[in-house]
Amino acid sequence: MASTKLIQGTTKSCGCQLKKAREKWKNIYKDEKIQEKIKKTFRKNDGREKNTKLSILELATSDKLKANNSSGVTGVSYSKRDKRWRSYITVKHIRYELGYFKDKESAIQARKKAEKELVEPILKKYKNK
């Protein structure tokens, strides 16, 4: 299929150009001045901290719930299979499984503790700027 598109002229490269472009951008991103400029632009334009929007972190710690939430607390759910309450949090695209608990209150406490340890320092850092 790729060769057909090359012959028809709808594609200009079989992928070798993409590889060259990736190498070029890798070298550009290694430049410290470029990295600093990217960081400043991200902070100024969309409030990101290492690819995580600060507004999403704020939402994760707020009392506002998603429509499909049935536990009443973000990051806490009931596992029918395990017959236990499960607690988790996602920060910077990393999901932290906080554990399974016999009661809902313990799962909520684990979630709140994780918010204080993982999310609040990031939000504090940028609220002062």
Each residue's pLDDT tens digit, 2-49: 567 667 766 666 667 777 777 877 777 777 777 777 666 655 545 555
Q: Which domain holds residue 26?
A: 13-46
Strands 76-79 and 84-91: antiparallel
Could you tell me if 66 and 121 lie in one domain? yes
Does 3 reside within a domain? no
For position 101, what pLDDT does the model report? 95
For position 45, what pLDDT does the model report? 46
When pLDDT is averaged across residues 52-57 and rounded to a whole number, the result is 66
For position 49, what pLDDT does the model report? 59
Could you tell me if 40 and 58 lie in one domain? no
- Please give the angle made by the CA atoms of 64, 66 and 70, to the nearest 5 degrees: 105
Could you tell me if 22 and 52 lie in one domain? no
Show Cβ contacts of residue 59 under 8 Å, excluding neighbours closer than 6 positions. Answer: none
Could you tell me if 66 and 100 lie in one domain? yes
Burial (CB count <10 Å: 0-12, 13-18, 19+), residue 123: middle
For position 83, what pLDDT does the model report? 94
In angstroms, the CA 26 to CA 35 distance is 11
Could you tell me if 118 and 91 lie in one domain? yes
For position 59, what pLDDT does the model report? 63
DSSP helix, strand, coil percent of the chain (3-state; round to 5): 55, 20, 30
Could you tell me if 98 and 77 lie in one domain? yes
* Per-residue model confidence as pLDDT tens digits over 68-119: 777 888 889 999 999 999 999 888 778 899 999 999 999 999 999 999 998 8
Residue at token pair 């999310």: 119
Answer yes or no: pTM beyond 0.85. Answer: no
Q: How many domains does the chain have?
A: 2
Show Cβ contacts of residue 9 under 8 Å, excluding neighbours closer than 6 positions. Answer: none
For position 54, what pLDDT does the model report? 67
